[in-house]
Amino acid sequence: MRISAGILKGRNVLAPEGRDVRPTSAKVRESIFDTLQGEVEGCRFLDLFAGSGAVGIEAYSRGAGEVYFCERNRDVLPLLKQNVTLLKGAGRVFEGDAFALLERLPGGFDIIFADPPYKDDCLERLCAVIERRKLLNKDGVLVYEHSSDVDAVIPKGYRAVKIKQYGSACVEYIKKGSICAVTGSFDPMTRGHLEVVRRASREFDSVVVLIAVNDKKPSAFPLEVRKEIALAAVADLPNVSVDICEGYVYKYCVKRGIFTVVRGLRSEKEREYEEYMAAYNRKKGGINTIILPVPGMEDVSSTALREALKRGDTAEFERLCAPGTADIIKKKFGETAAGGNYD
């Protein structure tokens, strides 16, 4: 294996042989550090379940100030120690079970990389130790690699800021902090929707605008178009992201460690339905729902927006739109209408 970038670019890392050791591939390593980018420079990095140590060595090559390696396989340790000599004293190797070592390692890591054997899904246990021992800095990130066949459940108090899949491998970037999902069909996002998102963004560290499929409601815009419109609407909110959910909302949320859903309430006529859905998500996934009344938005809806656009009422259309979305909606609605799907 070769280091892909930094001061050790092109240097060989000795890789152990055998089925018991599964090094992170060069493609995945490169993608991980492309994702982390500026977070690596000068950081304290922990390579848990280190194996050859290729990930930790790559971190050092790209600017990490100090790298800790944990490995229990005695057949692999001599090779790991030889590889770590490349770090010129900036690397420390610890021998033993990863969880036993976590009980005595000093805290304050900026990045923890964990790639346990794919048969072991230990994310919940790992987060519990990290939290209890304060191993991860406030803005630190846990990079968790696991089999794409496993639905790793993120514990409360943590959130997935990014998830990437590479064939049989899945890598999740997990941080501490509060998170919620603002859910709806957003067909398209309106000024009323955006008001709910803005209020949520002031209360939570991270907000996911989750565009859900409603089989009982015909759609005017394809999911990807709705996402594009929503992204334009929330462009000035740095802690807000947008995603699509084509299955059950509660399953999406549980998998990503989201245990709060925020919903807007335009009028009391909608409360019965909102409370029914809140009870459903609580029963199925332990999801808490916050229902936010949105005064002054009683007549603001996606349907009203589309109707105003169809009849050419520009003033009403722009009143209903989320700022920054009018041009996109007009363009995309025209394209959709040309295809015969007005409703």
On whether residue 343 sits in a domain, the answer given is: no
Residues 35 and 116 in one domain: yes
Specify the CATH number for the domain of residue 248.
3.40.50.620
Residues 152 and 223 in one domain: no
Residues 282 and 316 in one domain: yes
Boundary residue ending a domain (121, 147, 176): 176
Boundary residue ending a domain (176, 192, 220): 176
- pLDDT value of residue 342: 38
For residue 175, give every residue at least 6 positions away whose Cβ sits within 8 Å of its Cβ, in sequence order, or none: 139, 140, 141, 142, 158, 159, 161
Residues 169 and 217 in one domain: no
Boundary residue ending a domain (176, 196, 223): 176
Residues 44 and 157 in one domain: yes
Sort 338 into a burial class: Cβ within 10 Å, 0-12 / 13-18 / 19+.
Answer: exposed
Residues 92 and 202 in one domain: no
- pLDDT value of residue 153: 83
Residues 186 and 300 in one domain: yes
- pLDDT value of residue 338: 45
The Cα–Cα gap between 19 and 183 comes to 43
Residue ranges, the chain, pLDDT below 70: 18-22, 336-343
On whether residue 14 sits in a domain, the answer given is: no
On whether residue 11 sits in a domain, the answer given is: no
Place of tokens 């042989």: 17
Specify the CATH number for the domain of residue 82.
3.40.50.150
Residues 326 and 241 in one domain: yes
Q: State how many domains the chain has.
A: 2
On whether residue 10 sits in a domain, the answer given is: no
On whether residue 86 sits in a domain, the answer given is: yes
- pLDDT value of residue 343: 41
Residue 209 DSSP class: E
For residue 128, give every residue at least 6 positions away whose Cβ sits within 8 Å of its Cβ, in sequence order, or none: 155
Residues 224 and 170 in one domain: no
Residues 153 and 196 in one domain: no
CB-CB neighbours of 294 under 10 Å = 18
Residues 214 and 321 in one domain: yes
Residues 202 and 306 in one domain: yes
For residue 134, give every residue at least 6 positions away whose Cβ sits within 8 Å of its Cβ, in sequence order, or none: 107, 108
On whether residue 12 sits in a domain, the answer given is: no
Sign for the CA dihedral angle at 4, 64, 127, 249 comes to negative
For the chain, the C-alpha Rg in angstroms (whole number) is 24
On whether residue 4 sits in a domain, the answer given is: no
Segments forming the whole domain that contains residue 251: 179-338
On whether residue 171 sits in a domain, the answer given is: yes
- DSSP character string of 43-80: -EEEEET-TT-HHHHHHHHTT-SEEEEEE--TTTHHHH
CB-CB neighbours of 233 under 10 Å = 27
